[in-house]
Structure 1
Amino acid sequence: MEAHSMTKETLKTLIDKAAEICGSQRALAEQLGVKPHHVSEWKSGGRKCMPDDQAAMAGIAGFNAIETLARATVEAAEGTKKHEVLLRTLGKYLAATGAAIGSSGAAASVADLIRCILC
């Protein structure tokens, strides 16, 4: 998965990979506890995919769910007062994992995550 913001194409790739692992988009929806048409609407861009759903799909697909959750949370807050706070705090985690600068996005260890949160 790409290390920058969740574009429509990146989200489609995430949904496709998670659905492939679950067996179908319907099975993915069932595992996420959402209506099947929500998955289709996320994929087409007709419905916003919430950060927790993105993180759950990332976990299913074998991607870094914490990185996905952090990035999606920052993006979801864009245009709000929380955005700058989240960017400062969660952005540290993304930078520590290489996600914010487009590197391999390797997962940080729990110790690295704790150090990042404390810094």
Structure 2
Amino acid sequence: MQLSKAIELAAEKEGSQRALAKALGIGENYISDMKNGLKPCTVENRIRIALIAGIDPTRAVIEGLAASLNGDDEHQAEAKNMLNAMLDAFPEEGERNS
């Protein structure tokens, strides 16, 4: 799940984006910037957002690692592809075919 969607879901469960920011101990503007890809989201916050949203925190960490890698660097691109292949091999609950 994209970080922006996870933040939306977590904010909905907390009652608002402001309440989510308070639960994470960060500023509301920082949450907005993370959601829009303007600020980085730490692994710790990815886990906390996932837990609040009720989604798999392991998947959130792997997605975060893949997103942090530079696709222009040969070695990082290879690692990014491997992480994305792992995610594709184990789709989210709503993505699985019956």
- Alpha-carbon separation, structure 2, partners of 1:57 and 1:102: 20
**Cα root mean square deviation, aligned:** 2.8
2:88 partner amino acid: A
TM-score by length of 2: 0.68
Count of residue pairs the alignment pairs up: 91
Q: Deviations over 1:36-92 (max 9, x none)?
A: 11011122332222333222111110100111112212331336798466876xx4x
In structure 2, stretches of 5+ residues that fail to align are 94-98
Answer yes or no: is the 8 Å Cα contact 1:51–1:76 preserved in 2: no
Match of 2:11 in 1: 19
CA distance in 1, matches of 2:29, 2:14: 16
Q: Which moved more, 1:53-62 or 1:72-81?
A: 72-81
Q: Which residue of 1 is the match for residue 28 of structure 2?
A: 36
| Residue of structure 2 aligned with 1:101, choices 86, 89, 92 | 89
Distance 2:33 2:67 in 1: 19
Return closer, same or farther for 1:71/1:46 CA change in 2, 3 Å cut-off. Answer: closer
Displacement of 1:33 after TM fit? 1.4
3-state SS in 2 of match to 1:78: coil
Match among 34, 37, 45 for residue 53 of structure 1: 45
2:5 & 2:80 partners in 1: Cα distance?
Answer: 26
Percent pairwise identity: 28
Secondary structure in structure 1 of the residue aligned to 2:39: coil
How big is the shift at 1:35? 1.2
- Using a 3 Å threshold, how does the CA distance of structure 1 residues 23 and 70 change in structure 2: closer, same or farther? same
